[in-house]
Structure 1
Amino acid sequence: MSILLLGGMDRLERHYLNEANQRGINLKVFTKPTKEIGRKIGKVDAIVIFTDKVSHSIKHEIISFARAKGIPFFMYHSCGLCTLRKCLDSIKNLKQKGGLA
């Protein structure tokens, strides 16, 4: 399973990757603003957006991209490890139950 994480803190990027790795998830992390991010995403099963660390324009760009491609997205205001853990576990459970393509 591959998930894109947009937002978060630079200093936690290593921890985000470790949490995903422990769950068998390939995590792509973009903590900094990136031009034309839609082209750099590649194939992902879901997108997680930490809204407190992302500009409105990038958030809207990613949501439009996700809707156009039929990729489920999840938005959280907090960007801590606990939030990511809960989110990854929820996405993994959804996928196992067939609720996530």
Structure 2
Amino acid sequence: MSIVIVGGNECMESQYKQICKSYGCRAKIFTKMPSNFKRQLGFPDLIILFTNTVSHKMVGSALQEAGRRNTRVARCHSSSSCALKELLAAHLPSGCAGPEC
């Protein structure tokens, strides 16, 4: 499963990747908006928006592209590692429910 994380803290990028990897997911993380953001999103299975640490413009772009690609979107105000684990557990297929997968 591929995931795009929009927002979050720069210092936690490596932790976000490790958490996603432990759940069997590949992750792209965008803590700041690059110039070609829409093209870099790709075709993920899930877009996670950490709404507390992201600009309105970046949220709008991510939601617009998610709508075009019929991609699920999960929003969370907190950008903590626990919040990411809860989102992954809630949105992963029923066959995989945790890091032991």
| Partner-residue secondary structure (3-state), 1:44 | coil
How far 1:69 moved relative to its partner? 1.1
How far 1:51 moved relative to its partner? 0.7
Tell me what 1:28 maps to: 28
Which residue identity does 2:34 align to in structure 1? T
| Partner-residue secondary structure (3-state), 1:20 | helix
Tell me what 2:98 maps to: none
RMSD: 1.2
Distance 2:78 2:17 in 1: 17
Tell me what 1:96 maps to: 94
Tell me what 2:99 maps to: none
Report the structure, 1 or 2, having the larger helix content.
1
Count of matched residue positions in the alignment of Structure 1 and Structure 2: 95
Distance 1:72 1:37 in 2: 18
Distance 1:11 1:47 in 2: 20
Q: Any residues of structure 2 matched to 1:66-81 within 5 Å, and which?
A: 66-81=66-81
| Partner-residue secondary structure (3-state), 1:68 | helix
Q: TM-score, normalization: structure 1?
A: 0.88
The runs of 5 or more residues in structure 1 that have no matched partner are none
Kindly indicate whether the alpha-carbon contact (under 8 Å) linking 2:43 and 2:69 is maintained by their aligned counterparts in 1: no
The reply to whether residue 54 of structure 1 matches residue 54 of structure 2 is yes
Distance 1:62 1:86 in 2: 21
The runs of 5 or more residues in structure 2 that have no matched partner are 96-101
Which residue identity does 1:96 align to in structure 2? S
Moved over 4 A (4+): none
